[in-house]
Structure 1
Amino acid sequence: MIAPRSWLPTPVLSILLLVVWLLLVRSYAFGQFVLGGSLAILIPLLTHRFWDARPLIGKPFMLLRFIFRVLGDIITANFEVAYLIANPWRKLKPHFIEYPLMLEERFTITLLASTISLTPGTVSANLRMDGKSLLIHALNVDDEEALINQIRERYERPLKEIYEC
């Protein structure tokens, strides 16, 4: 007997692929289920060896708190950016910042860069080749060190704790 994980390495992704396939073809015919199911099994089976292993979540409740923090920051930053753009007499101070990373795992660095980019007013522009720093563009920077400390305390430290890096 074949172990389920050997022929279905990512069951959640397979289900998602099947659902997306059925939504794309807008048909629930038996043939579409067969074709979509085949693709949902074959695609992850052929590509899973190219994926990086994700670190295990050590503190799931802290992850939930982190998600709510990011959502709150996105809402707040939207209002701040709208205020900055709507007031033409206010002089913006855009700036590129070299952010030194404490994280070492590629997965958690990607999460941090994505979180920074999701928050309006900041974009993670580049990960240095050595993997030790991110280049971040911010729309309005009064104090570079304060922004670095804010990112470190609000996003990087919680990610480090959640994934126990």
Structure 2
Amino acid sequence: MRRFLPLPCLLLLLWLLLNDSLSTGNLVLGGSIALILSLLAPGLRPVRASLSHPLTAARLIGHVAADIARSNVAVGWRILRGDRAGALPGFLDIPLRMRDPHGLAALACIITYTPGTVWAGLDEQTHTLTLHVLDLQDREAWTRTIQDRYEAPLMEIFE
């Protein structure tokens, strides 16, 4: 029951927030929808995630938050200065060791949330990530950053 309750409670809360009402009708309708969706949801996720090493996850969240803030400042300054000519945009292929779909999804979010980088694709046969970078000055630094700063902790957490 402890594993089941968070999802319907979250869905009900979201329903009530979106409808901006605590009326009896919204509580009943939102509760019914939340229960039905919660019962149907496990069939949509054949692979279950398990979070191991919560301290590693907390450290990774801190690294990601700092990187996002740093990247926001760098991209913002580049735009404000009008320094578009100095940018060297490009694509970079990075070999990945991680195979867990939840870890790959988290890595995709981390990369896409960081201004100046976009997850452009993943070759499932060679496990190669294609990354687009706004300013690709140092390919080795980008490869090390993705593999060591993000992929290694995600592998520890999910695999």
For each residue in 1:59-101, what CA deviation from the matched residue of structure 2 results, as whole angstroms up to 9, or x when unmatched? 1111111111110111111111112223335511001111211
- Write the mapping of 1:47-58 to structure 2, written as runs, cut at 5 A: 47-58=41-52
Q: In 1, distance between residues paired with 2:45 and 2:142?
A: 32
Residues 45/134 of structure 1: CA separation in 2 closer, same or farther (3 Å cut): same
SS in 2 for 1:104: coil
Q: Structure 1 stretch 80-89 or stretch 67-76: which is displaced more?
A: 80-89
Cα 1:19–1:78 shift into 2, 3 Å: same
Deviation at 1:131, TM superposition (A): 6.6
Partner of 2:137: 142
TM-score by length of 1: 0.87
2:20 to 26, 32, 39: 26
What SS class does the counterpart of residue 136 from structure 1 fall into? strand
Quote the Cα distance in structure 1 between the aligned partners of 2:52 and 2:14.
31
Structure 2 CA distance, aligned partners of 1:38 and 1:149?
A: 48
Q: Is the 8 A contact 1:97 1:137 kept in 2?
A: yes
Note the aligned Cα RMSD (angstroms). Answer: 1.8
**From 130, 141, 145, the counterpart of 2:125:** 130
Task: Work out the CA distance in 1 between the residues paired with 2:13 and 2:36.
Answer: 15
The 1-side partners of 2:4 and 2:13 are apart by: 15
Residue equivalent to 1:108 = 103
Unaligned regions of 5+ residues in structure 2, if any? none
With structure 2 as the length reference, what TM-score do the two structures score? 0.90
Aligned to 2:5: 11
2:35 to 26, 41, 48: 41
How much does 1:150 deviate?
A: 1.2
Q: Residues 142 and 98 of structure 1: is their aligned pair in 2 closer, same or farther, counting only changes over 3 Å?
A: same
Q: Percent of aligned positions with the same letter in both sequences?
A: 36
